[in-house]
Structures are given as C-alpha cells and as structure tokens.
A = this chain, B = another copy of it.
C-alpha cells in the first residue's frame, strides 16, 4: 500500500501547501490532468484508471485546493459580500443566518463587513464606504446590504460596480432591487386574527408614525377593519417609544381612559417590546391575558415573545427568509437572469401562541 512511506501522509499536509503539481507528480500525470478531474470537466478525456489514480493521490497527500488561486485564474470568486449594521446592532441577525445558509447551499462564501449606517449621516459615514471598498477588493461577485429595521438607506456609489441587493431596506434614490417585509399584509394578519377571536374594539400601540413599519402595519390594520365593516378609532391609536416602557405607558393610557364597557378588548402592539410593557400594565390592573385583554405583537423577537407569560402571539418579521431570498436574488443577478421585481415583499406569518 503505502508507497511514499515517510514523507507525507493523509491529514498531515506539510506546512505550506500541497499543490496540484505535487498531486500530479505523485500520480505520474500532468498537472492539467489533475485540474481536469478535480473540476469534473465535461469533455475531458481522462481514462477511468488515471482518474482514480489521481483521486488517490489527492487523498494520500491531503491536497486542498487554493481558493484564492482558483479565483484568480478563473475570474470568479464564489464570494458574496454583505455589509450590515447587524453586526454592530444585533437585532436582525437572522438575516445573516438566512443569507449564510442559502449561500452555503449555493457553495458561495459570505463575507460579512460591518457598517455603521445606523447613525445615518453621522460622522462615520465613511465606515460603510470602507466596508464596501474592502469587499470589492476581495472581488465579491455581488453585494448585499442589510438593515436592522425597515427603512430607506443610502448606498455607496462604488457598490454599483457589482450586482447589489438590499435586504430589509430600500434605496432612497436609485433603482436597486430590494427585499422587504410586507408590513401591510402583516398588519392585516394581526388585526384579522383579533377580529376572528371576536374582538371589535381594538387598541393600537403605534411606533414612530413616520417609519415604513408603522405606515404599513397601520394601513393593513385599517384594511382588515374595513373588511369587517369597522373603522379604526383614531383615539385608540396611541404612539409609544419602541421600548417596553413605551408600551407600558401607552397601554396605561388606553386602559385608564375608558370606562370598562368602552375599553378595548384587544391590543395590537406594533412591536414585541412594547407588548412586553403592555403585559405589565394589564397585569397591574388585575386583568388577565387573553381573558380580559388580548394582546398581539409584531416582530417575533423570540427572547421576548416565547418567554412572556402567557406566551405572546405575534406576527413574525421574516428575517431569515429575507436573507435567503436576498442571496437567491443576487445569484440570479450575477447569472444575468432578470429579476422578478424591483421590490420583493416577503410575507409576515402569524405565530399563534397564547395571548389572543
């Protein structure tokens, strides 16, 4: 068996790289032949015998291709870059997860670079430019931009040298394809669920009314109510800071404002953090969930929704799916295929738990 006894041995590759040449020598063929069998070339005329001989040599030497050299020679890197503030503000990590998984499936590598776009036009505007630049230096085949919350962003000019897809955000001026949650449908889903449970008077704890999430979700809520022949009472829509405290205060406001018979029987909280605060307000008043007041959230922040008592029914933001779809879209773009639409909406599924 062991021909070359002492020197190299499977798994114990020598320090600096076994190359194709080594494999070729070991197998007694040309390097070209090795390259052909390793890349599974179609019209390669290599006899079955030498093919196996080469494969054995690969095993024996523990050969491992050099991705960089391959990229240089083939002019394709198999890398996508994603620049995201998620690394800096870990809320929607699932975007990365989804993208990562999909990339892995496609045998692509995802290079992750941090961005500070969160501080918008702030002082470190330069950072994401640097990130983009670094990624382009790696000759990524495409770029992804991901935001922690749905909003408009400004993409560095240089990014446009390469196919680019936006995830959970959209290009303020340009025409870059983007993947965003279908906030409107999500809002509709939430309210429909409450209506279905028999609620007719529904309080809404709103977010900053200017952001896409608030606009869309509220619109969806109105639609659902309209379908049921109801209207959204403006007095029942109270804004809150997007925190538990904000939710608590908003909930107090709603609960204390009306005599019991006029009090809403359900609360649609536009995010789970506020729902968390609303829980406290409700419990404080000796009311039960969902018996006296049903609560439905939005976002499906697992750490909150799955651990509140009772567990929170909520509408999920499809981060993971958006990430995956982003990579798929990018793959299509880099392959020269036309994309489906400029802006792809991803549905927000309802997660039934116990608060409705």
Contacts and interface: CB of A to CB of B under 8 A. Distances in A.
A89 to B, nearest CB: 9
Interface in A78-106: 87-88, 90, 93-94, 96-97, 100-101, 104
Nearest to A71: B68
Q: Say which size band chain A's interface belongs to.
A: 35 or more
A67 B138 contact: yes
A309 B112 contact: no
Interface string A58-84: 000000111111011001010000000
A217 interface: no
Contacts of A234: none
A198 interface: no
Given A90-B94, A100-B87, A114-B100, A138 B109 contact: yes
A294 interface: no
A298 interface: no
B109 A110 contact: no
B13 A66 contact: no
Contacts of A75: 16
Contacts of A339: none
Given A100-B87, A100-B112, A248-B309, A138 B273 contact: no
Nearest to A276: B307
A178 interface: no
A211 interface: no
User: Which of A87, A101, A161, A304 is packed against the most chain B CB atoms within 10 Å?
Assistant: A87
B244 A309 contact: yes
B104 A114 contact: yes
A139 B68 contact: yes
Contacts of A138: 67-68, 109
Contacts of A137: 64-67
A88 to B, nearest CB: 7
User: Which of A90, A138, A244 is packed against the most chain B CB atoms within 10 Å?
Assistant: A90
Contacts of A283: 283
A258 to B, nearest CB: 23
Nearest to A273: B307
A104 B304 CA distance: 32
The 4 closest A-B pairs by CB, nearest first: A244-B307, A90-B93, A303-B303, A68-B68
27 contacts: A11-B158, A64-B133, A64-B136, A64-B137, A66-B139, A68-B139, A69-B72, A87-B96, A87-B100, A88-B97, A90-B94, A90-B97, A93-B93, A97-B114, A101-B114, A109-B134, A109-B138, A110-B112, A245-B307, A248-B309, A273-B303, A273-B307, A276-B307, A277-B307, A277-B309, A303-B303, A304-B307
